[in-house]
Amino acid sequence: MSSKRSSPAVALNTKPSFGFIICLPLLLSLVSPIVVTANAQDEPAGITPTDIWSDDYANEIFPWAPASDRDRQFKEYHTYETMKTLMMELEQDNPEIFEYHEGMLGGTNARGEEVTADTYEGWYYGHSSPWMKITGDVQGGEFNEFVGDNGNYADRHDVMIVGNHHAREWMSYTVAIMQLEVIAFSYDNIGYDNDGDGLIDEDPWGDANNDGILDDDGDCLSLASEYQDSNG
């Protein structure tokens, strides 16, 4: 008689039970929010504009006028009268660089035609066009008898910025007015902390240092994503 005993065969069911199949998706659904929440807590939330910038800068309030002055804040269009008034105020505040004019005196032009001040008035309202001569020591230099302005120097080139040259070009004269505001505010005031972050010239215009990075001080990229534009 053999002493060996045969071991009973044990059949293992390797298929998952129906109950386990049902519970597995449930377990995954319970665990996944925990994982997502943990990852969300690990990611930095970013900061808001007023965390690093002044309230005026964050709310696009220009430094040369109070927030309530809506045309000088470019929230509303200037009228002909408010534009003239602003130009005369800028001349009074900055007599060393601004000289205000309306139209030109006239005389014999470059084509040999005799013209007068009336020639350069607007055709509809009949207004003489207001304009500003801008240069250092504007009261010096040569006087131009045709144009009627001072501050003409042989070693200085002329640059003309024209606004509202054609009808209904409302935006174009706003650009010229903006130039006047920026020049008046920036004259002898270059080292100005415009964004209120306590730094000066930390982020030059565009890519001034040619490093391929527009946001040199990193403040825009440090903002929460909802406050960033396509360039950070």
Q: What is the pLDDT of residues 158-177, one digit of tens each?
A: 998 888 777 676 668 888 99
The three-point CA angle 88-61-224 to 5° equals: 160
The single-letter DSSP state of residue 187 is T
This model's pTM is above 0.85: no
Domain extent listing, the chain: 69-186
> How would DSSP label each residue in 166-231?
STT-HHHHHHHHHHHHHHHHHTT--S--TTSSS-SSSS-SSSTT-SS-S-TT-TTTTB-GGG--TT
pLDDT in tens, 49-104: 888 889 999 899 999 999 999 999 999 999 889 999 999 999 999 999 999 999 99
User: Residue 158, Cβ neighbours under 10 Å: how many?
Assistant: 7
Q: What share of the chain is helix, strand, coil (3-state, %, to 5)?
A: 30, 10, 60
Note whether 107 and 203 are within 8 A (CB).
Answer: no
Closest CA to 151 of 87, 89, 96: 96
* Reported confidence tier of residue 45, pLDDT bands at 50, 70, 90: low
